[in-house]
Amino acid sequence: MVTGLGAVTPLGPDIETTWSRLIAGEGSGAAVTAFDTDGHPVRIGCEAREFEPGQWLDRRTLQRTDRFAQFAVAAARMAEADSRVDVAAAPDRVGASIATAQGGVASLAECCAGADAARIHPRLVTAFMPNMAAGWVSMELGARGPVGAPCTACAASAMAIGEGYDAIRLGRAEVMFCGGSEAGITPIAIAGFAAMRALSRRNDDPARASRPFDADRDGFVMGEGAAVLVLEELEHARGRGATIYAELAGYGMSSDAFHMTEPDPEGVGQARAVAAALADAGLRTDEVDYVNAHASSTGLGDATETAAIKLALGEEKARSIPISSIKGATGHCLGAAGAVEAAATVLALRDNVVPPTINYETPDPACDLDYVPNEARRLPVRVALSNSFGFGGHNAVLVFREELAA
């Protein structure tokens, strides 16, 4: 069961602000302020500008942590407060699964820029290691159960949630703090993704640059932030009178085994992950009410996901349900994207409202489904999929549904 949510995103410093702005159709794309972008071919991003790390960590800890770990601790603390779970009551039965794609890339670049090998700061290794967000969340919460840190590109935090789900099903924990964190709006990361032509170059129109499924999409816009979901064993949650948002009912994953950056254009691998997730949940394709798509505003990626949804659900079903991508609003938060989108999917179930795909203006013949363009849509949502697909061919799909009556 999902009993708590916490997030820091480009749309807001907490989950409810993020959700209200998302449903209102607001976006976050703007000129990057984190560093001097002169000389960079890409100068836009979706920054978490309202985040105040000092609200969540003391000065000494701030000096020892990268921004990606700071995001994670803040989101976990918010999720803890939202769930009202008492970690200290049984710390050995509480774990954390916090993913990232890049880890502390800012700390690595900063410490190594022009540095003498004898003068490297002693905090470098523990600042940039990808498992440090999970480590800090565990220490800050006092959670002594299973701790993991998937690092599977843009599928990472969906897999972190899936691993937390499995830990509870296997009896290894009763409560898991699961999600992902990313702070990739840095000179080296922006330059690297720009060099591989993955990023939008709409520097003169940043608010409209991220445009999933639109015919004029030209790459994703880098986002940053974190989201954490509290997953809890059903009887444990009911026993303490927890508020239950939704049930995480199924998890599926697969590999394209095709290319390091390009998805299999037929969508076969992605479709297998959808099928595996639905089978794990014991649900039929005709029971799906909504798909929260991975779609990041890349030419091949969005078209491939469209093909995969048709393949997995069947053409008729795929055309009959709403499908939306929130990356038009948040940008692509890389290793945190799956968790941010999972949280949005849970709130869609709670409120029976589907978030819009903003900046969708021109239909693409290769993307011909119902993408909920520009305005949120109210309708019953009982079962929803959250798709996450990453470089390297990593595919992860989560199935959420309304809590079943006792």
Interval 153-164: pLDDT, tens? 999 999 999 999
Q: How confident is the model at residue 340 (pLDDT cuts 50, 70, 90)?
A: very high
Q: Is residue 246 part of a domain?
A: no
Q: How confident is the model at residue 113 (pLDDT cuts 50, 70, 90)?
A: low
User: Can you tell me the distance from the alpha carbon of 223 to that of 344, in angstroms, rounded to the nearest whole number?
Assistant: 16
Q: Name the phi and psi angles at 291, rounded to 5.
A: -125, 120
Q: Is residue 132 part of a domain?
A: yes
Is there a single domain that holds both residue 194 and residue 259?
no
Catalytic residue among 294, 333, 367, 394: 294
**Helical residues (DSSP H) of 198-353, grouped into ranges:** 234-239, 268-281, 299-313, 315-320, 327-330, 337-351
Q: Is 380 helix (H, G, I), strand (E, B) or coil?
A: coil
- Which CATH number belongs to the domain containing residue 328 in this structure? 3.40.47.10
Measure Cα distances from 83 to 1, 76, 109, 148, 338 in Å: 11, 10, 36, 21, 20
User: Can you tell me the distance from the alpha carbon of 204 to that of 101, in angstroms, rounded to the nearest whole number?
Assistant: 28
Is there a single domain that holds both residue 229 and residue 277?
no
What's the average model confidence in pLDDT over 212-220?
Answer: 98
Is there a single domain that holds both residue 66 and residue 86?
yes
Mean pLDDT of the chain: 95
Q: Are 8 and 336 in contact (CB under 8 A)?
A: no
DSSP string of 330-343, one letter each residue: H-B-GGGHHHHHHH
What's the average model confidence in pLDDT over 30-48?
Answer: 97
Q: Is residue 245 part of a domain?
A: no
Is there a single domain that holds both residue 152 and residue 73?
yes
Q: Does the structure show a pLDDT above 90 at 250?
A: yes
Catalytic residue among 46, 111, 154, 333: 154
Is there a single domain that holds both residue 198 and residue 288?
no
User: Which amino acid would we find at residue 246?
Assistant: A
User: Can you tell me the distance from the alpha carbon of 356 to that of 374, in angstroms, rounded to the nearest whole number?
Assistant: 5
Q: What is the model's pLDDT at position 118?
A: 61
Measure Cα distances from 317 to 158, 217, 284 in Å: 24, 26, 11
Is there a single domain that holds both residue 128 and residue 263?
no
Higher pLDDT, 113 or 272: 272
Catalytic residue among 236, 332, 333, 394: 332
What's the average model confidence in pLDDT over 254-275?
Answer: 91
Q: How confident is the model at residue 114 (pLDDT cuts 50, 70, 90)?
A: low
Q: Does the structure show a pLDDT above 90 at 104?
A: no
Q: What is the model's pLDDT at position 105?
A: 86
Q: What is the model's pLDDT at position 260?
A: 81
* pTM for the model: 0.96
What's the average model confidence in pLDDT over 110-118?
Answer: 64
pLDDT tens, position by position, 364-392: 999 999 999 999 999 999 999 999 999 99
Is there a single domain that holds both residue 183 and residue 213?
yes
Q: Does the structure show a pLDDT above 90 at 19?
A: yes
User: Can you tell me the distance from the alpha carbon of 266 to that of 247, in angstroms, rounded to the nearest whole number?
Assistant: 31
Q: Is residue 244 part of a domain?
A: no
Q: Which of 206, 239, 272 is the last residue of a domain?
A: 239
Higher pLDDT, 299 or 404: 299
Q: What is the model's pLDDT at position 59?
A: 93
Q: Are 262 and 197 in contact (CB under 8 A)?
A: no
Is there a single domain that holds both residue 111 and residue 173?
yes
- 332 catalytically annotated: yes
How many distinct structural domains can be found in the chain?
A: 2
Q: What is the model's pLDDT at position 14?
A: 98
Is there a single domain that holds both residue 176 and residue 320?
no
**Residue 119 burial class via C-beta count within 10 angstroms: exposed 0-12, middle 13-18, buried 19 and up:** exposed
Q: Which domain holds residue 350?
A: 251-401
Q: Is residue 311 part of a domain?
A: yes
Q: What is the model's pLDDT at position 109?
A: 77
Is there a single domain that holds both residue 107 and residue 134?
yes
Token digits for 43?
């100068």
Lowest mean pLDDT among 74-83, 208-217, 397-406: 397-406
Is there a single domain that holds both residue 275 and residue 309?
yes
Q: Which of 186, 211, 239 is the last residue of a domain?
A: 239
Q: Is residue 406 part of a domain?
A: no
Strands across the sheet containing 175-182: 2-8, 225-232, 175-182, 94-99, 147-148
Is there a single domain that holds both residue 209 and residue 258?
no
What's the average model confidence in pLDDT over 296-309?
Answer: 97
Give residues with Cβ within 8 angstroms of 79, minimum separation 6: 4, 5, 6, 177, 179, 228, 229, 230
Q: What is the model's pLDDT at position 249?
A: 97
